[in-house]
Amino acid sequence: MSHLLNNRIEKKFCELKLKKQKGLICYVMGGYPDPKTNEKIISSIVDGGADIIEIGIPFSDPIADGPIIQEASFRALQNGINPDICLNLIRKTRKTYPDIPILIMTYSNILQRKGFKKFMETAKDAGTDGFILPDMTIEESKEYLEYSKKLELASVFLVAPNTSNFRIKKTLDVSTGFVYVVSVYGTTGMRNSINKYTLNAIKNIKKLSSNRTNISVGFGISTPDQVKLMSNFGADAVIVGSAIIQIINSNKDNNIHQLQNKLKNYVTTLKDACYDR
Amino acid sequence: MTNLQEFPIAGKYGRYGGKYIPETLIPAINELEDAYIKIRNNPKFKRELNYYLQNYAGRPTPLYFAKNLTDYVGGAKIYLKREDLLHGGAHKTNNCLGQCLLAKKMGKKRIIAETGAGQHGVGTAMAAAVLGLKAEIYMGSIDIERQKLNLFRMELLGAKVHSVNTGTKTLKDAINEALRDWITNVKDTYYLIGSVVGPHPYPMIVRDFQRVIGEEIKSQLKDISTRSPDALVCCVGGGSNAMGTFFPFLDDDTVSLYGVEAGGLGIRTGKHSATLKVGSEGILHGMRTYLLQDEYGQINDTHSISAGLDYPGVGPQHVHLKNIQRAEYVTCNDNAALDAFFKLSRLEGIIPALESSHAVSYAMKLAKKMRADQNIIVTLSGRGDKDIDQVINFRKKYIGGSK
């Protein structure tokens, strides 16, 4: 793995290791349910103890996402949320939290449309630390990697339970910040149980990385027990997304203080599961 | 210059094509490519596919000289490649039989597919039934509404149809949902894409199973004329019947190639599916291609009187052919397509699919500008029985009264 020394993500993982903690990465859909509430949501999540924030830019055709994030993208787009609004949100978040790592999760066409160079420069300028593009493959990543390197942005690639060892090694070579282990066969969204193949995949990737790459596990994680289990099998961080959107959706009476408390408490219970004891 | 039949090179057509897919699908895509490359020239596989194409689906389809239409238009002779006569009622059957047979050889038992107009769904359901496979079809709920008959046909043929209620509830969302199913059930499932779209190797595989159209035209033409065709005209949604027709003629520069996209209610209204004509470069459904999209890269709603052309993307090889100016892509509006639908029905006793009516309409325009000793071949990709309701509704909505 190539290291980006000046990147907040790398620094965060170093810090976590010193403190013997696992990392908690929380996903929010940019501008959802509306830009104002979204800012408050991010604050609650950071206050609750999130180590890294992932901001989703809604795309019309999110093939890697399950029903909860699909619906959130759809509604965000209907409310007029666009990449510019999301980047402004990142700019604001960066001002409030100078040190928290921020990643953009979106689909390749959002970058392609403006041009990879231009979009990534703007994102960098807004305070972004890297990208997660679930439909970007290492085969097609030449341009993307070129500007990731130039701009010192993390390029987080995904590996799946069925990815071959040969390909895992290739992915570890180009993935910076961390490598995103997709825990299941399927799209994003909460699951009740954890499969044995998931734990084996984490163990295997951990071994192949020889401890040189940070491993984050996502897709389907929502409970403290799941966080502990993933950590025990070698995950350096866990990623939680749909569960957070679900809490936002359950705030039917639009009580923002109640929502903030709920989110903060939820994130805190997950973060508690990240301490080594 | 590179021989155009050599594409894709490293999975790409110029800079288009490629594979932009979630990592979970990479092993499946690679397995598919390996299996296909191993089997495509295997004589036993070819014999078996040919057997089904001839005895089950009814190939070869006729190349018919549309004399009445030719006389009516005046100008070049118009020939129709009668894919409407193929079992299932459209060219889709060629690809469905090919891919189902491939899936069977790969040991896959469960087939999933997307469908817009329902023709690919019907083709998949038929091929799966005859080859003993289980088929599940994803179809947008809006498309189900406008193609009720095809829904019943698929169910009759033993397929399970999933109504897709996300996004625009049409073909592109059916593809998204099929891809999500594939990500979830990747180990035992074969995804049967219906057009020359999607991640590599799909655009190549579908093209190869459709090129039988062009190959047959080549040999049939020899029987009636000494010259090669002057022009080939096909409708283009994803572009599979066009690519199947064009491909054997790509390196013969004396043959002009025309792809006809759906102009819908007119390019200026924004309600159309003219991806090649007014789209821009982007990444969707696993490929780099042209898309109808907004300034931020969100995919636009499309419109066409024919559900089969209602797609915001297009096969990557078509983009390449357009860019190197080997093929010309034009549009035909809903009204003009409808006019051709009626003309062909009355003049030749052939009710064409609304998709194919776009090609017929452009061929009529083109023929007028050409000499009587020249010829145009139109691929009549499907028959219009499925479109009767749509035609009645459309006339009520936009034209009023009866004709």
- Note whether A130 and A176 are within 8 A (CB): yes
Listed residue (B135, B125, B127, B116) closest to B156, CA to CA: B125
What would the two tokens of residue B377 be? 């071949």
pLDDT higher than 80, residue B162: yes
What would the two tokens of residue B331 be? 């549009």
Please tell me the distance in Å from B180's CA to the nearest CA on chain A.
6
Please tell me the distance in Å from A162's CA to the nearest CA on chain B.
6
Q: Which candidate in B15, B16, B24, B288 is best for mutational testing of the A interface (most A CBs within 10 A)?
A: B24
What would the two tokens of residue A242 be? 């749909």
Band of the pLDDT at A5, cuts 50, 70, 90? low
Report ipTM (2 d.p.): 0.96
Segment B296-326, tens digit of pLDDT: 999 999 999 988 898 999 999 999 999 999 9
| CA B49 to the chain's CA centroid | 20
Cβ–Cβ below 8 Å for B20 and A140: yes
Section B47-65 average pLDDT: 98
pTM for the predicted model, two decimal places: 0.96
Q: Which candidate in A57, A61, A166 is best for mutational testing of the B interface (most B CBs within 10 A)?
A: A61
| Residue A30 contacts B, CB cutoff 8 Å | no
Q: How many CA atoms lie within 13 A of B241 on its CB side?
A: 33
Burial class (CB in 10 A: 0-12, 13-18, 19+), B310: buried
Section A76-105 average pLDDT: 98
Helix and strand numbers (H, E) in chain B are 16, 14
Per-position DSSP letters for chain A, written without gaps between them: ----TT-HHHHHHHHHHHTTB-EEEEEEETT-S-HHHHHHHHHHHHHHT-SEEEEEPP-S--TT--HHHHHHHHHHHHTT--HHHHHHHHHHHHHH-TTS-EEEE--HHHHHHH-HHHHHHHHHHHT--EEE-TT--GGG-HHHHHHHHHTT-EEE-EE-TT--HHHHHHHHHH--S-EEEE-SSS-SS--SS--HHHHHHHHHHHHHHTT-S-EEEESS--SHHHHHHHHHTT-SEEEE-HHHHHHHHH-TT--HHHHHHHHHHHHHHHHHTTB--
pLDDT higher than 90, residue B98: yes
Which among B18, B185, B282 is the nearest to A113, CB-wise?
A: B282
Residue A192 confidence (pLDDT): 87
Q: Which candidate in A109, A133, A180 is best for mutational testing of the B interface (most B CBs within 10 A)?
A: A109
The verdict on whether B177 is a catalytic residue reads no
Segment B180-239, tens digit of pLDDT: 999 999 999 999 999 999 999 999 999 999 999 999 999 998 877 767 899 999 999 999
Please tell me the distance in Å from B242's CA to the nearest CA on chain A.
26
Section B134-141 average pLDDT: 97
The verdict on whether B114 is a catalytic residue reads yes
What's the mean pLDDT when you consider all of chain A? 95
Segment A129-180, tens digit of pLDDT: 999 999 999 999 999 999 999 999 999 999 999 999 999 999 999 999 999 9
Nearest residue of A to residue B184 by CA position?
A186
The verdict on whether B361 is a catalytic residue reads no
**Parallel/antiparallel/unpaired status of strands A23-29 and A237-240:** parallel
Residue B155 confidence (pLDDT): 97
Listed range (B117-126, B139-148, B161-170) with the worst mean pLDDT: B139-148
Residue B402 confidence (pLDDT): 43
Amino acid at A116: F
Which among A59, A61, A110 is the nearest to B172, CB-wise?
A: A61
| Residue A167 contacts B, CB cutoff 8 Å | yes
Catalytic residues of A: 54, 65
Residue B403 confidence (pLDDT): 42
In percent, how much of chain B has pLDDT > 70? 98
Section B75-90 average pLDDT: 97
Band of the pLDDT at B386, cuts 50, 70, 90? confident
